[in-house]
Structure 1
Amino acid sequence: MYDPVRLAALVAVAEAGSITRAAGRLGYTPPALSQQLAKLEREAGAPLLVRHHRGARLTAAGEVLVARARRVLDEMERARHELALLSGLTGGRLRVGTFTTVGIHLLPPVLSAFRRAHPDVELAVTEYEPPRGVAAVAAGQVDLALTHAYEPAGAEPLPTGVFLEPLLVEELVLVTAPGHVLAEGSGRLPVAELSDQPLISSAPAHPPRRGVEGALREAGARPAVVCESPGYALVCALVSAGLGVAVVPEMVAAMDPAPLGVRPLAPAAFRRTISVAHRGDESGPAAQSLRALLRGGFARGAT
């Protein structure tokens, strides 16, 4: 593993064009900086610099390593900034909006990490069915809110001053009762094969229902909705009991306690993007700290 200090030294030489000028910027003596660069060349197993009478230039190997080093150093600087935010909060109140699926399965460990880091910050959590959480951020009712958008249904327009940061993208999958004929096989099921299947769906205005049923029609399938439910928990329970099939996000299918058959669909164009809505630079340090924890927590939750 390359030493970040030595990577920073190589980047400084690349930008300054000379070891002497780079040493001055970094507070080294030229011999000390040359020693760091020599160690980096041994780690890389290739010459990184060519010295000449006017300074130094990168070799081909040096160009490759500098490009990667800049990315590494940028990420480390971002981490230092986020850790500084995490360590600098005392007191205050953070208001968080969420929707049910994420509020149950992904948000609690993130909030626990936030509470451990900032025990003096009061937390308040409110449930909003998307996209009402976005409106709550715009109205100042919460500091940030978790929300989602479905494809191919399309996203709702954002209020002025509200921004979305994507955290997790997941496919929508078919769920059936265990042993259902459509759950057989490991490949993707063409969506046209859902034609005339009894479909357990969400409320008529719910974005995933509009998107799924529209895609079914485009594929030549005829949706046959036999039940409308406002929540995925009831949808999955009815599916598991053999009353029909449904199309739900992967997270719902994986974490629902009811026994289900699960199969991916073709085309793989049915997706749900989970995002955090915030007010950009107007967000306070507590909200920014929680956003940093959400990035890491949701990345782990997706694995």
Structure 2
Amino acid sequence: MYDPTRLAALVAVAEAGSITRAAARLGYTAPALSQQLAKLEREAGTALLVRHRHGTRLTAAGELLAARARRVLDELDRARYELASLTGLSGGRLRVGTFMTAGAHVLPPVLSAFRRAHPDVELGVVEFEPPAGVEAVARGEVDLALTHVYRPGPVAQPPAGVRLETLLTEELVLVTAPGHALSAGAGRLPLTELAGQPLISSAPANSHRREVEAELARAGASVAVRCETPGYVLVCALVSAGLGVAVVPEMMAAVAVAPLGVRRLGPPELGRTISVAYRTGERAPAADTLRALLRGGFARRGAVRTGAG
């Protein structure tokens, strides 16, 4: 049986005309999407794609499978909609909180899948810098919210009536300008190797990063540029320009537009856990459905990042 995620990838390439554009549409990296398509070709037992100078086109077999895939995906969407009608998801409003990274790179395809299945539900999205989204869930301002914590760092208990469900645990990795000596080696880079390195820092403005950057300071890294916002897009752009090195979530290193060198760190290993906060003790079919889609979206993100699945 073909994996619907891989079928959706084939349809995206057929519509976008290139793996790079399809990957951007789906929120994947191009190499990761290529791996999924290669697995689909092995399942099909024949070539589905032909790469050329201007992009990618489907073979005759690819066109045939893409046509069937569209029907399969349409039927799955129809099934979701019909099930939603049975469970009361034929109207109403769903308010979602998110932080910048997830809002830009994971949430859009998940909301797109939700909208295809439940077009009558009004969607609202609000950006919060964690942990403010958790408090917004407790106050009833949003129905659920994506949030995160860093390792090392304090882990606060959620407010009464709010539960946190872990969606993804990822490492923090070193990013450098392309060709930098620290990104050239194999294996993990001990934090002590960062001694004397100019660091692009987002603390103390980004309070959740303070413990992480305290760990980097103990290793001897010295702040070269201090970003007063927690935007990793800007941090990665500054690193790519050669203004220093930085430690960022693996997800951000994978989707960065600017060219970077990347290397894993440790010991000790640094990390970030992404969770969804939601209220307990109330019937919320729309929020429950979106949580299920988020679980799938983050699971695919983790599988694509590691080449698994």
Deviations 1:126-157 (A, max 9, x none): 11111111111011100000011110113233
Letter in 2 for 1:225: V
- Give yes or no for contact 2:203–2:210 (8 Å, CA) kept in 1: no
- Give yes or no for contact 1:137–1:145 (8 Å, CA) kept in 2: yes
Flag the 1:283–1:277 CA change in 2: closer, same or farther, 3 A: farther
Equivalent position SS for 1:244: coil
Please state if 1:116 is matched with 2:116: yes
Q: Report what 1:261 is aligned to.
A: 261
Letter in 1 for 2:241: A
- Give yes or no for contact 1:173–1:264 (8 Å, CA) kept in 2: yes
Question: Residue 220 of structure 2 is aligned with which of 216, 219, 222?
Answer: 222
Q: Report what 2:300 is aligned to.
A: 300
Please state if 1:96 is matched with 2:109: no
C-alpha displacement of 1:207: 4.3
Equivalent position SS for 1:160: coil
C-alpha displacement of 1:209: 2.9
- Give yes or no for contact 1:152–1:212 (8 Å, CA) kept in 2: yes
Flag the 1:153–1:283 CA change in 2: closer, same or farther, 3 A: farther
Q: For structure 1, which segment, 206-215 or 121-130, has the greater mean C-alpha deviation from structure 2 after superposition?
A: 206-215
Letter in 2 for 1:293: L
- Give yes or no for contact 2:167–2:276 (8 Å, CA) kept in 1: yes
Q: Report what 2:105 is aligned to.
A: 105
Flag the 1:114–1:262 CA change in 2: closer, same or farther, 3 A: same
Letter in 1 for 2:258: A
- In structure 2, what is the Cα distance between the partners aligned to 1:107 and 1:250? 17
- Give yes or no for contact 1:172–1:249 (8 Å, CA) kept in 2: yes
Please state if 1:194 is matched with 2:163: no
What pairs with 1:241-260 in structure 2 (closer than 5 Å)? 241-260=241-260
Equivalent position SS for 2:94: strand
C-alpha displacement of 1:85: 5.5
- Give yes or no for contact 1:188–1:264 (8 Å, CA) kept in 2: yes
Flag the 1:245–1:271 CA change in 2: closer, same or farther, 3 A: same
Equivalent position SS for 2:119: coil
Q: Report what 2:131 is aligned to.
A: 131
C-alpha displacement of 1:301: 1.4
**CA-atom RMSD in angstroms:** 2.3
Equivalent position SS for 1:189: coil
- In structure 1, what is the Cα distance between the partners aligned to 2:169 and 2:201? 21
C-alpha displacement of 1:186: 2.0
- Give yes or no for contact 2:84–2:90 (8 Å, CA) kept in 1: no
- In structure 2, what is the Cα distance between the partners aligned to 1:96 and 1:108? 12
C-alpha displacement of 1:298: 1.1
- Give yes or no for contact 1:143–1:283 (8 Å, CA) kept in 2: no
C-alpha displacement of 1:223: 3.0
- In structure 2, what is the Cα distance between the partners aligned to 1:242 and 1:274? 29
C-alpha displacement of 1:121: 0.5
C-alpha displacement of 1:268: 5.3
Flag the 1:171–1:283 CA change in 2: closer, same or farther, 3 A: farther
Unaligned runs of 5+ in 2: 2-81, 305-309
C-alpha displacement of 1:202: 0.8
Equivalent position SS for 2:248: strand
C-alpha displacement of 1:262: 0.2
For normalisation by structure 2, the TM-score amounts to 0.68
Please state if 1:160 is matched with 2:160: yes
Letter in 2 for 1:272: R
C-alpha displacement of 1:201: 1.1
- In structure 1, what is the Cα distance between the partners aligned to 2:200 and 2:224? 6
Deviations 1:212-234 (A, max 9, x none): 223235xx522311212211111
Deviations 1:82-108 (A, max 9, x none): x95685211100000001111111111
Equivalent position SS for 1:247: strand
Equivalent position SS for 2:281: helix
- Give yes or no for contact 2:203–2:213 (8 Å, CA) kept in 1: no
- In structure 1, what is the Cα distance between the partners aligned to 2:280 and 2:269? 30
The aligned length equals 223
Deviations 1:50-108 (A, max 9, x none): xxxxxxxxxxxxxxxxxxxxxxxxxxxxxxxxx95685211100000001111111111
Identity of matched residues, %:
66
